[in-house]
A = this chain, B = another copy of it.
Amino acid sequence: MNTGTLLLWKRRAWSSLSASRRGLPREKLPEAGEQVPGSGPRAKVLTLDTMNPTVKKVQYAVRGPIVQRAVELERELSEGVKKPFSEVIKANIGDAHAMGQQPITFFRQVLALCSYPELMSDSSFPDDAKSRANRILKSCGGHSIGAYSSSQGIDAVREDVARYIERRDGGIPCDPAHIYLTTGASDGIMTMLKLLVSGEGSSRSGVMISIPQYPLYSAALAELGAVQINYYLNEERCWSMDLSELQRSLEEARRHCNPRALCIINPGNPTGQVQSRQCIEDVIRFAAKERLFLMADEVYQDNVYAEGCHFHSFKKVLFEMGPEFSETVELVSFHSTSKCYMGECGFRGGFMEIINMDEEVKVELNKLLSVRLCPPVPGQAMMDLVVNPPQPGEPSYPTFIRERSTTLGSLAEKARLTEQVLNTVEGISCNPVQGAMYSFPRIFIPEGAVREATVKGQLPDMFYCLRLLEETGICLVPGSGFGQKDGTYHFRMTILPPKEKLQILLSKVQEFHQRFTLQFS
Contacts and interface: CB of A to CB of B under 8 A. Distances in A.
Interface of A: 11, 14-15, 18-19, 22, 24, 29-30, 32, 37-38, 41-48, 50-53, 55-56, 58-60, 62-64, 93, 95-101, 103, 108-109, 111-113, 115-116, 119, 122, 140-142, 144-149, 151, 177, 183-184, 186-187, 190, 194-198, 215-216, 219-220, 223, 260-261, 291-293, 324, 328, 330, 342-348, 356-364, 366-368, 370-379
A359 B108 contact: no
B147 A97 contact: yes
A379 to B, nearest CB: 6
A374 B346 contact: yes
Interface centre among A97, A292, A363 (most CB of B within 10 A): A363
A81 to B, nearest CB: 19
Contact of A55 (B19, B147, B177, B195): B195
Contacts of A58: 367-368, 371
B48 A98 contact: no
Contact of A47 (B60, B197, B361): B361
A183 B376 contact: yes
6 contacts: A22-B177, A45-B291, A51-B196, A63-B373, A112-B119, A348-B377
B59 A366 contact: no
B147 A373 contact: no
Contact of A260 (B41, B45, B198): B45
Contact of A48 (B100, B103, B109, B364): B364
Given A46-B293, A145-B347, A18 B111 contact: no
Interface centre among A47, A108, A140 (most CB of B within 10 A): A108
A145 B346 contact: yes
A101 B60 contact: no
A107 to B, nearest CB: 9
A30 B360 CA distance: 9
B360 A29 contact: yes
Contacts of A345: 146-148, 373-374
Contact of A52 (B48, B194, B216): B194
Given A30-B358, A55-B195, A115-B115, 15 more contacts: A11-B363, A38-B291, A45-B293, A46-B195, A46-B357, A48-B364, A50-B198, A51-B196, A58-B371, A64-B367, A146-B346, A148-B345, A184-B372, A223-B368, A376-B379
Contacts of A99: 142
Contacts of A63: 151, 370, 373
A268 B346 CA distance: 32
A358 B46 contact: yes
Contacts of A223: 194, 368, 371
Nearest to A63: B370
A364 B51 contact: yes
What is the count of identical protomers in the complex? 2
A360 B32 contact: yes
A359 B29 contact: yes
Contacts of A146: 96-97, 103, 342-347
B141 A347 contact: no
Given A58-B368, A58-B371, A260 B359 contact: no
A367 B219 CA distance: 10
B142 A97 contact: yes
Given A51-B195, A195-B55, A373 B46 contact: no
Given A111-B115, A115-B112, A148-B95, A18 B364 contact: no
Nearest to A50: B198
A93 B148 contact: yes
A150 to B, nearest CB: 8
Given A45-B330, A358-B46, A363-B14, A291 B37 contact: yes
B360 A47 contact: yes
A64 B411 CA distance: 46
Nearest to A143: B97
Nearest to A151: B63
A58 B367 CA distance: 7
A198 to B, nearest CB: 5
Contacts of A38: 291
Given A47-B358, A108-B115, A364 B55 contact: yes
Given A112-B115, A115-B115, A370-B60, A375 B348 contact: yes
Interface centre among A42, A100, A109, A348 (most CB of B within 10 A): A348
Contacts of A184: 372-373
A396 to B, nearest CB: 13
A140 B48 contact: no
